[in-house]
Structures are given as structure tokens and as C-alpha cells.
């Protein structure tokens, strides 16, 4: 059995590389694929905006979130005779932000790619250069997911990357239990574990493990992910 690896990468770092390649190469195929200059400019603008949000805005927002956490810690536990101002989120001016675009930029990009594959001038060589061809490779029976588990208010959020598989089987243990029980077969990430506390008001340990599922589970399990869930 084979698995399909989509051309759009699952991880943000890989997405940034993909978008940069698209921005730098699609213009060279305008005439071959029969697009107008305006159509190419519009789809490049979409990609540039997505890349800017991914690389600059999201990265800066993570730094701002850490600054807020530090500010809260200083206010709660610090000392001193001077007021500490609340951090202000300010985007860098370098690189300058590309023009804003209407909502749906990625949907337009994927629709554009589906269309270009129907063009008379399209070849697999072009698709390879533009990185728009999905791959099919044999399943590795020992491959495991790359998940995460985070306890939040009222739920535990379980994330994973399918990596071309149909889905992921999640098993769990609660409290002192040593028996693994099937929690869910998930074909989309994340999964929300919203089961109530076994004893209302008493936080409990929840443990999770994951394996790929392609009609049947691989039974090649990840390490155990443990969180404390407070309800």
C-alpha cells in the first residue's frame, strides 16, 4: 500500500520554502501556460501575503506573546519603584508588508494550481519545478506520527500530522489506569478530548499514544504524551 504526500507541506517552515519557490518561478511560465500578466500578478500577490503572514506576522506574534508572559510575571512577582509599561505589538518595517489581499488566498492558490494542470502547455517537468505534484511512496510499517497534547480549559487538544496517511488512531489512559483504550480514529487534526473529569473538581493525569491508521492501525506507537487535565 502506498501513501500520498501532498505537494503543500504540512509544516510552516516547509510552507515558507514552498511559497518562496512559487513566487520566484510561476511568472516564468505565464506564456507557456496561457495566463495573462494580471492573473499571474494576482496569484503572486496572494502567495506573497500568505508568506508575509507566515514568516513575519506569526513569528512576531509569538515573540509578543512571550513578552506578555514576561510582563505578567514581572507584575505578579517582580520588584522595583518604576512602572513597567505593557508591551505593544509592533510589526517590523523590514521587510515592508506586501499588499493586502481578499480572504481566501490559499483557496485561490490551490484552485489556480488545479487549473494550470489542465493547460495545454503544462508538463510534469513544469509541475516538478513549481513543486505542485503530490508524491506516492510505499507505506513504512514502522512510521509513527508527530503529535502533541495540550490541556486547555474544558478539553485536551491533540494535534498530529498525517504525513500522507488516512488518519491517526489515538489511545488513552486516565488516572491510575494501565489499560490503553481506543479514544478515536481521526482523519483531521486537531482532536478535542472533551471527556469530563472522572471525579468532578479533581484534576487527573491523562496519557495518550498515537499510531497511523490506514483502514487498520499500524500499531507502531509514539511515545506516551501525558497532561494534567483540570476540567
**What φ, ψ does residue 213 adopt, rounded to 5°?**
-130, 120
Q: Which three cell numbers stand for residue 109?
A: 492558490
For range 104-123, the mean pLDDT: 97
Domain ranges for the chain, please list them: 2-136, 148-229
Residues 6+ apart with CB under 8 A from 60: 89, 91, 92
Assign a CATH topology to domain 148-229.
Immunoglobulin-like (2.60.40)
> How do residues 138-170 score in pLDDT, each as one tens digit?
877 788 998 999 998 889 999 998 888 889 999
Please tell me the predicted confidence (pLDDT) of residue 153: 85
Model pLDDT, residue 217: 94
**pLDDT for the residue numbered 190:** 93
The per-residue pLDDT for 1 is 65
pTM for the whole structure: 0.65
Amino acid at each position: 500500500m502506498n501513501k500520498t504526500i501532498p505537494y503543500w507541506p504540512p509544516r510552516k517552515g516547509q510552507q515558507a520554502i514552498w511559497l518562496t519557490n512559487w513566487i520566484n518561478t510561476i511568472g516564468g511560465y505565464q506564456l507557456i501556460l496561457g495566463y495573462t500578466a494580471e492573473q499571474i500578478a494576482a496569484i503572486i500577490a496572494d502567495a506573497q501575503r500568505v508568506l508575509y503572514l507566515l514568516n513575519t506576522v506569526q513569528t512576531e506574534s509569538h515573540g509578543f506573546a512571550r513578552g506578555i508572559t514576561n510582563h505578567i510575571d514581572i507584575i505578579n512577582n517582580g520588584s522595583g519603584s518604576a512602572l513597567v509599561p505593557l508591551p505593544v505589538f509592533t510589526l517590523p518595517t523590514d521587510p515592508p508588508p506586501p499588499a493586502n489581499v481578499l480572504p481566501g488566498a490559499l483557496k485561490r492558490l490551490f484552485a489556480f494550481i488545479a487549473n494550470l494542470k489542465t493547460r495545454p502547455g503544462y508538463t510534469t517537468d513544469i509541475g516538478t519545478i513549481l513543486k505542485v505534484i503530490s508524491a506516492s511512496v510505499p507505506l513504512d510499517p514502522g512510521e509513527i506520527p508527530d503529535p502533541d497534547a495540550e490541556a486547555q480549559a474544558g478539553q485536551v487538544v491533540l494535534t498530529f500530522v498525517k504525513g500522507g496517511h488516512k488518519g491517526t488512531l489515538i489511545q488513552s489512559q486516565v488516572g491510575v489506569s494501565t489499560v490503553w483504550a481506543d479514544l478515536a480514529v481521526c482523519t483531521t487534526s486537531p482532536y478535542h478530548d472533551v471527556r469530563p473529569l472522572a471525579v468532578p473538581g479533581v484534576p487527573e493525569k491523562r496519557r495518550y499514544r498515537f499510531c497511523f491508521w490506514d483502514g487498520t492501525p499500524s500499531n507502531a506507537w509514539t511515545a506516551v504524551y501525558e497532561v494534567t487535565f483540570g476540567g
